[in-house]
């Protein structure tokens, strides 16, 4: 019995919402390339893949602030001067637009799970904090398609606020009891639990260096293959 079967013993969920980065795709190599190019532009040392992997998860703006704060040997994002952030963010967007999708790869099981959900006639959606143009870029390059795509700039608020999830459920005309969230971070768990949506998390994703078990999702899996 899979984690989905346990949470939905009678019928499969009508709507399955997926986080993108760290859940369906490993996008850190491209993000790190863009971050390091931005830092080089500002005459700051490169951050590298390992640091970027910890920083990812709250949208492009926060990622840039974390990189800039780290280059100042600070942990408080508010220490980054506004003009430095604005220049850095602008340059990051330029660089990420150039490389987005080049080294980004699907995690094992993505195609198989999406195929199975299609057979079960489930509505599938992306709910991500990544800006929309970059989300669409990745989905198009990797050739995966969803009924709904809710990005970080679709609404005023993004995860861990539940607004994106609520909006997606309204668009799909599904209740919390008919919906499942699959993600990789505490932001996914907090957003889902705020509106009583069951949530399954993958153990391999981007959760700021913390164990996803500590966030207490309804289930943790080591591979999407476990959902089959």
Peptide bond into 30 cis (omega under 30): no
Laid out side by side, the sheet with 219-221 consists of 148-150, 123-127, 15-18, 179-183, 199-202, 219-221
Helix, strand or coil, per DSSP, at residue 74: coil
Which residue, 56, 25, 72, 55, is CA-closest to 182? 25
The DSSP code sequence of 17-43 is EE--BTTTEE-HHHHHHHHHHHHHHTT
Which residue, 25, 37, 32, is CA-closest to 104? 25
Whether 19 is catalytic:
yes
Paired with 221 in beta bridges are 202
**Options 19, 21, 70, 184, the catalytic residue:** 19
Active site residues: 19
């Amino acid at each position: 019995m899979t984690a989905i079967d346990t949470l939905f013993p009678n019928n499969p969920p009508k709507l399955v919402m997926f986080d993108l980065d760290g859940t369906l795709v490993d996008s850190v190599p491209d993000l790190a390339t863009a971050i390091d190019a931005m830092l080089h532009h500002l005459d700051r040392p490169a951050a590298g893949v390992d640091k970027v992997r910890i920083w990812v998860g709250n949208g492009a703006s926060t990622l840039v602030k974390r990189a800039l704060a780290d280059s100042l040997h600070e942990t408080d994002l508010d220490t980054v001067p506004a003009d430095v952030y604005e220049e850095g963010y602008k340059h990051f967007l330029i660089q990420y637009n150039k490389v987005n999708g080049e080294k980004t790869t699907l995690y094992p099981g993505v195609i198989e799970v999406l195929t199975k959900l299609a057979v079960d006639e489930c509505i599938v959606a992306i709910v991500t904090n990544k800006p929309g143009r970059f989300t669409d870029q990745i989905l198009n390059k990797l050739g995966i398609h969803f009924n709904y795509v809710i990005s970080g700039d679709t609404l005023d608020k993004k995860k861990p606020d539940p607004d994106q999830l609520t909006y997606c459920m309204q668009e799909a005309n599904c209740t919390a009891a008919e919906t499942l969230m699959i993600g990789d971070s505490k932001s996914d768990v907090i957003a889902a639990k705020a509106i009583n949506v069951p949530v399954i998390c993958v153990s391999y994703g981007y959760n700021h260096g913390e164990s996803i078990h500590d966030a207490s999702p309804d289930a943790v899996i080591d591979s999407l293959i476990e959902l089959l």
